[in-house]
Homo-oligomer: A and B are copies of this chain.
Amino acid sequence: MGRIIRIAAAQMGPTQKADARSHTVGRMIALLEEAASKGATLVVYPELAFTTFFPRWLLEGAELLKEYERSMPNPEVQPLFDRARELGIGFYVGYAEITSEGERFNTSIIVACDGTILGKYRKVHLPGSVEPRPGAQFQQLEKRYFEYGDLGFPVYRAGAEWSGALIGMLICNDRRWPEAWRTLALQGMELLCVGYNSAAYDPNGGDTESADLRTFHAQLVAQANAYMNACWAVAVAKAGDEDGSCLIGGSCIVDPNGQIVAETTTLADEVIVADCDLDLCQQGKTKMFNFEAHRRPQWYTRITSQTGVIYPEDEIG
């Protein structure tokens, strides 16, 4: 029988800085309707889905603040919530959050099929820098625009409509950090949702990584971490050319064997769907990756006791 959820990855093409929020939400509703027509009950959108990837610019004042959501939902995004509830579909979506106290986070939520917010996550692994790079055409200022996530890595238990799935969330760069996946898997995670905006190349010429190599990296970490944590993973891009800065695509749905079962082929708005049987996690969780039987935490202490590298010759004691 299995515990099957039909999941859609709703990759989004580029969103330009000048695009109205209403236009972007309209695109998201069109993706939602396509996913619904394919029978999906859970749609995964990218990181910062309602806006362009604005940390690429040094912004201030009102120009910066308009990129954030002051509540969720809010009148601008309400049409997405309304249409999802009408269709009986839930979704993961990423957005820039500003709290009533003015704290800012790179956030994602899971919205259940009845429109309630099942869970929230705030990005822990913020890449980039606080200070802009002088002379650079494009910045990566996530460390400037967001606080580090303060919710840890929570796992949420879904309702019967998703077979009681244990769902974890990550955001973009988080997916490259095995600590994040493992912390979720130690809570029984069966499904990992992650949206991303990943540069296709360094527009400032700082490295030699091609778009193909970056797409390979993005899929490799989704595949291996899904396998090593015996879970499904749905990784969804905002892709294409945003005001001259290009983002990779390569959105994919990965099974607990680390195999890609569906992937996008464009850099545009595109829906892919897969039937994800949560019971397929059991082989890994009970055998090869039976944590209780095989993990040896006493030898992992460096993972929590140190942040950076300590070379053997600098070891104290």
Please tell me the number of chain A residues within 8 Å of chain B, measured between CB atoms. Answer: 69
Q: Check B296–A156 contact: CB distance below 8 A.
A: no
CA distance A90 to B220 in the complex (A): 32
User: Per-position contact with B for A141-170: 1 when CB-CB < 8 Å, else 0?
Assistant: 000000011001111110000000010000
Docked complex: A220-264 residues within 8 A CB-CB of B: 220-221, 223-225, 227-228, 257-259
User: 8 Å CB contacts to B: which residues of A290-316?
Assistant: 290-297, 299-313
For A153, the chain B residues whose CB sits under 8 A away are: 299
Instruction: Pick out which of these stretches binds chain B: A11-19, A73-81, A108-116, A175-183.
Output: A175-183
Contact B300 A183 (CB under 8 A): yes
Question: Cα distance A5–B42 when bound, in Å?
Answer: 49
A138 at the interface (CB under 8 A from B): no
On whether the beta carbons of B217 and A311 are closer than 8 Å, the reply is no
Query: In the complex, how many angstroms separate the beta carbon of A120 from the nearest chain B beta carbon?
Result: 14
Is residue A64 contacting chain B, with contact meaning CB distance below 8 A? no
Closest to A223 in B: B220
- Asked whether any CB of chain B lies closer than 8 Å to the CB of A289, the reply is yes
Q: Is A207 an interface residue (CB 8 A)?
A: yes
A125 on interface, CB distance cutoff 8 Å? yes
Q: How far is the CA of A294 from the CA of B180 in the complex (A)?
A: 12
> B residues within 8 A CB of A185?
309
In angstroms, how far is the closest chain B Cβ from the Cβ of A279? 13
CB-CB under 8 A for A179 and B217, given A154-B312, A224-B223: no
Residues of chain B lying within 8 A (CB to CB) of residue A296: 124-125, 148
A187 and B305 within 8 A (CB): no
Question: Does residue A283 face the partner (Cβ distance < 8 Å to B)?
Answer: yes
Q: Mark A95-129, 1 if CB is under 8 A from B, else 0.
A: 00000000000000000000000000000111100
If A227-B221, A283-B207 touch, whether A166 touches B299 (CB-CB below 8 Å) is no
Residues of B within 8 Å of A299, CB to CB, are 124, 149, 152-153, 179-180, 183
Could you say which of B181, B187, B228, B258 contacts A310, with CB atoms under 8 Å apart?
B187
Q: 12 more A-B contacts (CB under 8 A) besides A125-B295, A126-B294? A: A149-B299, A154-B312, A155-B312, A177-B228, A177-B294, A178-B182, A185-B309, A186-B303, A186-B308, A209-B257, A216-B257, A291-B308
Would you list 16 pairs from A and B whose C-beta atoms are within 8 A, ordered by A residue?
A124-B299, A148-B296, A157-B311, A166-B312, A178-B228, A179-B297, A179-B303, A186-B308, A187-B302, A187-B309, A187-B312, A209-B257, A217-B258, A221-B224, A297-B305, A297-B307
Q: Which residues of A contact B (CB under 8 A)?
A: 124-127, 148-149, 152-157, 166, 173, 176-183, 185-188, 207, 209, 213, 216-217, 220-221, 223-225, 227-228, 257-259, 283, 285, 287-297, 299-313
